[in-house]
Structure 1
Amino acid sequence: MATDQSSIGRSVLLRQFLWPFITGFWVVFVGVCIWGGGALAQLAWAEQRAPDDPLAYQIQQLQLELDALATLTPVILQPSELAQAIGDAVYNTAVWAATGTLRTLMNIPGLWRENAANDFIRHHPDPGGTYAQKMFQDTGHSWQRLVVANYTLATRTAMFLAMLPLLALTTAIGLTDGLMARARRRANAGRESASLYHRAKLGSTGLLITSYLACLAVPSLTQPVWVLVPVAVGVGGLVRVQGGYFKKYL
């Protein structure tokens, strides 16, 4: 029994120690999958719309979306500057990760490097970093298309983040009206509905996630207001349902 309890104690301590790393891993993994999927979607749309010159089509589309982003009124941050910062962060992270991986594989001193068949790996002071730079230069057209797709996704992310003040407003209105409805329901001894509350809670989260994924995947987003305003209003309505059917007694 003592052994079982000590084993349980160690496993609990281990989970408490590892959960930040596990959470961070899944956040990074999901983020890479979403961003990579969005980039592949943009490449596929460009191939379909302009098979002769997809890079020129992507650049033209990016410029149109940047012009649309510039029309949004800044509240906290300038949307154009935010898009540039997001795009630069993703680009620099990708280059840093690829360069670091190649340096790890090619720069580690030891018997493997000393006995490598390639003279470049044996004698160059930084074969991994040099090879990474050459790789990015030689990819040419394909790499440029990925870079443009990255900044297109960054622009759309900035559009979505520009909705946050409107989302906060509709959420506050929906919550206030919902709590007033809850107060009337309590005063009249009305029934609460945990089913509606939980479905509205899941619906508001799901609406935000699916709308963001749709923004990344659509071929064009030159009219963000027609997308962002209905999403904010829909979330506000779902929050109103949550407030109205919250627990009768706290």
Structure 2
Amino acid sequence: MATEQAPAQRAEQKRTGLVGTLIKLPFTLLWILILSILTSIVIEWVGIYFGWFSQTGSEHARETMVSELGYLDSQFTRSLLVSSPVQFAQTFVDTTYQWLFVKTGIAGWVEYGADEVGWAGTFKTYLQAAMFVTLMTMTRCVILILTSPLFLLAAVVGFTDGLVSRDLRRFGAGRESAFIYHHAKRLVTPIFLTGWLIYLSLPFSIHPNLFLLPCALLFGLMIAVATSSFKKYL
């Protein structure tokens, strides 16, 4: 009786695990966004304190934010998700700025007496840098949203290629490796989430394609490896 119930229990656990993962995914992405903003702010503040940047004060953060917005204007003129990506990005960033900094009074306080000296002026410089970094990260978040079909396409191609390789191995009496399957399966989600975390936290401007294309390629490759090494018979 116990052996008959075991497969049903394992199937139920798999379904529960899949549903739980889908439910936790939005909260995981939100956590990554918050962690990326905090990490970027800390890096920017440390860079200002130790003079890592050629620009003074919060100018480095402002120029990075402007560069990220420039990528949207020049590279993301069309999208599968929205009709006007640039307008969508501007609305998204402006809404974030209004709710986080204007309605809370932070923007007005920073702009008032911006030429102050002493600890008050220094504090306002760091706070202004944090504002620019937050808007820069939100801009990159929009870029990730607009390029999400790229990761979906990589997943579909990797899954399809993996199924073909699995069938060739199945009908060709090839050997299967549980070691490769389990390790490739474990790497799929970390590659996806870690790639987003690193991209959102970078303290300098980078073209999205230089980072997202290799990340999507590696993401699809891990799905292909995991699918192709799946056991022959269910």
- TM-score, with structure 1 as normaliser: 0.64
Instruction: Tell me the secondary structure at the aligned position of residue 54 of structure 1.
Output: coil
The superposition leaves residues 200-224 of structure 1 with CA deviations (integer Å, 9 ceiling, x where unpaired) of 1222211122222211222223322
- Amino acid across the alignment from 2:178: A
Q: How does 1:129-148 map to 2 (within 5 A)?
A: 133=105, 137-140=108-111, 141-142=124-125, 143-148=127-132
Q: CA deviation at 1:175?
A: 1.1
Structure of larger gyration radius: 1
Q: Which runs of 5+ in 2 are unaligned?
A: 1-19, 112-123
Instruction: Name 2:147's counterpart in structure 1.
Output: 163
**2: CA distance between counterparts of 1:182 and 1:168?**
21
The superposition leaves residues 25-75 of structure 1 with CA deviations (integer Å, 9 ceiling, x where unpaired) of x75666533322223223334553447622222222211121122232332
Residue 184 (str. 1) matches residue 157 (str. 2): no
**2: CA distance between counterparts of 1:55 and 1:41?**
12
Instruction: Name 2:38's counterpart in structure 1.
Output: 36
Instruction: Tell me the secondary structure at the aligned position of residue 75 of structure 2.
Output: coil
- Amino acid across the alignment from 1:64: S
Q: How does 1:23-172 map to 2 (within 5 A)?
A: 31-47=33-49, 48-50=51-53, 53-73=56-76, 74-76=78-80, 77=82, 78-88=84-94, 90-91=96-97, 94=100, 133=105, 137-140=108-111, 141-142=124-125, 143-172=127-156
Change (3 A) 1:154 1:33: same
Give me the identity figure in percent. 25
Instruction: Tell me the secondary structure at the aligned position of residue 44 of structure 1.
Output: helix
Q: Which runs of 5+ in 1 are unaligned?
A: 1-18, 100-131
- Amino acid across the alignment from 2:191: L
Q: CA deviation at 1:195?
A: 2.1
Instruction: Tell me the secondary structure at the aligned position of residue 71 of structure 1.
Output: helix
- TM-score, with structure 2 as normaliser: 0.68
Change (3 A) 1:86 1:193: farther
Q: CA deviation at 1:180?
A: 0.6
- Amino acid across the alignment from 1:183: D
Q: CA deviation at 1:189?
A: 2.8
- Amino acid across the alignment from 2:90: Q
**1: CA distance between counterparts of 2:89 and 2:45?**
19
- Equivalent of 2:204 in 206, 210, 220: 220
Contact 1:43–1:149 (CA<8 Å) still a contact in 2? no
Change (3 A) 1:87 1:201: farther
The superposition leaves residues 70-99 of structure 1 with CA deviations (integer Å, 9 ceiling, x where unpaired) of 232332334434443443454455469xx8
Contact 1:87–1:154 (CA<8 Å) still a contact in 2? yes
The superposition leaves residues 134-178 of structure 1 with CA deviations (integer Å, 9 ceiling, x where unpaired) of x66435534332221111101122222333222222222211111
Instruction: Tell me the secondary structure at the aligned position of residue 131 of structure 2.
Output: helix
**2: CA distance between counterparts of 1:52 and 1:72?**
26
**2: CA distance between counterparts of 1:52 and 1:170?**
39
Change (3 A) 1:219 1:34: closer
